[in-house]
Amino acid sequence: MSNKQSKYALVTGASRGIGKEMAFELAGRKINLLLVSLKGEGLDDLCREIRDEYGVDAQYFETDFYKYDSVYDVANWAVSDYNPFILINNAGIGGTKAFESVPPEYIDAIIQVNIRATSMLTRLLLPELKKHKNAYILNVASMAAFSPFAFKTVYPASKAFVYSFSEGLREELKGTGVFVSVIHPGPVKTNADVTARIEKQGILGRIGQVSPKELATIAIRQLFNKDPFILPGIVNKINWLLMIMVPNAWKLMILSRVVRKEINAYNRLVRVCS
């Protein structure tokens, strides 16, 4: 059977963390994979491991979504050579820094990866997805989508975009066979840098943690169950209820204090090491 006859799931940000575990979860369901991530993050080894362990096809494409043409390159590769029926927009970046202290390129990168890549890749793959009787789009947002807070300013705004974009697109695509879902993870220890930042936030920053493996299991299961709004874990469900009930000014103050702990811990570490 040729690649164009077989069906594939395309996963961005697939080299580690949530994306990697989603790839394993899909492979366990005997779904072929198209994995996308930055160069030098071991996608070749990951694809080889998946092919050997799960007996499905796994191909990869290395790119940087900060580059303008990258979404076009990925879409052309996926549509020309393969037959995607699932798109998982998992790639995303963030950080914890005072807005004025970062270079403009830092802000631009968050916008390009979290907002532009998600919306543009979806648009470019949508005609192909609509050819299938049943197709799926899963966008990875965040619990941060439900409130602004200081020292992350652009990141929660970008995830609020992903949430709003997903909700509107799902309504627009009703009756087409393409189902759109959005998942809102809480803190997830996806790599050493993120783990260190979570630990510095104190107990409030760690509330609602779900492991990447557990989160991937929930995400893929609920996607195929056509759950439009995925909140992984009971704690995140409670947090969401609290966040929609608490006035925005209170949320802003409380969450900003949590993130400030991370900033202060980092500054203390810098002083000790200098």
Q: What is the DSSP letter of 36?
A: E
What is the end-to-end Cα distance of the chain in Å, rounded? 60
Where do we find the tokens 């090491």? 273
Distances (CA, A) of 29 to 76, 139, 160, 217: 26, 20, 31, 11
Evaluate whether 75 touches 117 at the Cβ level (below 8 Å): no
Q: What is the 3-state secondary structure (H, E, C) of 189-229?
A: CCCHHHHHHHHHCHHHHHCCCCCHHHHHHHHHHHHHCCCCE
Which residue among 60, 82, 155, 163 is the active-site one? 155
Burial 94-105 (b: 16+ CB within 10 A, else e): bebbeeeeeeee
Amino acid at 211: S
Examine the residue annotation and report whether 54 is marked as an active-site residue of this protein: no
Amino acid at 274: S
What is the three-class DSSP state of 86? strand
| Phi, psi of 230, deg, nearest 5 | -100, 120
What are the residue numbers of the active site? 155
